[in-house]
Amino acid sequence: MGAGIVRDLLSAQSDSNNLLVVADLLRDRVDEIIAEYDAERVRALALDVTDAWALAKALRDSDLCINAVPTFAGHQMAIFDACLEAGTAYADLGGMGVYTVLQKAEHENWRAAGAMAVLGLGADPGMSNVICRAVAEKLERIDKINLYWASELSGPENPVLVPPYNIETVLGEYANPSKQFLDGALREVGPQTGHETLQLPEPWGETEFIHSQHSEPLTVPFADGIRDKGIREFTWKLHLPKREHEIWVGLVKAGFGDFETPLDVKGVSLRPSEMLDAVVRHNMEVRAGDIPEQENHEIHLAIGEGTRDGKGLRVRVHVTSGADPLYEGYHDAGTSMNASIAAQLMLRGRSRPGVWAPEEFFDVEDYFAELRKRRFTIAVEETAL
């Protein structure tokens, strides 16, 4: 995702002219990522984020830190806190919500320090939060907003498992209970529950969704302009292509969704998810020639119900993307492009000290204009109830 963010920041769609510093523990990996770009615009930095002094120095020299370290790696709060100490604007991709509540609790400390942070940037969360704001702005009273994301693949079946994003994130979505906002409060529901089928346009068609762990329910129903409109329900649901869905269900059944218990294998201690990550990456490398060309189609959908002018109203906002030459070179164009959009809007606008979720921070029309530049299709529909 970080490599894709760099790609978009340096693309023709970007209005950024900032110098980018790409930091990672592995300098060779960074050099590989930035080799194709203008050396005047981007440079590499070998950085161990557990080295507090080195991290602080890197942040002091920066206007904005985009934290693309995987949530389950466990470094999110250390980087977040270091940005506050340095007075550097902070953005992350923390979609699983593991640290969201802890970070939001620091709002007044960030505001007092004159520093700003925006949490959960990418497609889901990130863009998904903004389309919820778009729904909310159409309603005077909100009964509920339900948020969905679906991916569908077209082309030859892939004989190699290629995760749609970070492996531990997918496993967490399938293995962990989630918090959903039901009957006016956050409530824990079991993994792979909340089955719901929607009829969507092609290529998705009849699409089944499940609850999964995500950060949007932790922030959207509590945002100004949504909470005060009386919202009683907010849910987040996921759909992956049928074959891939079956694989992830099976892997969780086999125990790979255990993030806590290390296993000793011939003297090496690894968590099951780490073992799976190593196997999948190795398999993708040795079988790269077997991976066919496939087109990925995504839909991000928010459906809200409530009233306007005293009459019942349903509002649907969806953003779709499909095959497009613009997305070549990205592992996940939606996540990377949206994180880049968010970073640019943060740098472009006035400073807003505090810790914010995307639906609290971004102007809907400004955000949608950036999506259209990147060939995302946006639709807004209103139906009387």
pLDDT in tens, 56-89: 999 998 999 999 998 878 899 999 999 999 999 9
**pLDDT (tens digit, 9 = 90+) per residue, 265-324?**
889 999 999 899 999 999 999 999 999 998 889 999 999 999 999 999 999 999 999 889
**pLDDT (tens digit, 9 = 90+) per residue, 339-359?**
999 999 999 988 899 999 999
Q: Return the structure tokens found at 274.
A: 């780490």
DSSP element (H, E) containing 206 = strand 206-211
pLDDT at 96: 84
pLDDT at 259: 83
Closest C-alpha to 289, from 166, 163, 159: 159
In the chain, the amino acid numbered 131 is: I
Q: For the chain, what is the total number of helices (H) and then of strands (E)?
A: 14, 17
Give yes or no for a contact between 276 and 188, defined as CB atoms under 8 angstroms apart. Answer: no
Average the pLDDT over 81-103 and give the result.
93
Q: What is the pTM of this model?
A: 0.93
- What domains does the chain contain, in order, with CATH numbers? 131-331+377-384 (3.30.360.10)
Q: Return the structure tokens found at 318.
A: 């969806």
Q: Does residue 366 carry a pLDDT above 90?
A: yes
pLDDT at 314: 98
Separation CA 355–CA 103 (nearest Å): 7
The sign of the CA dihedral 185, 190, 191, 197 is negative
Average the pLDDT over 21-38 and give the result.
92
pLDDT at 12: 92
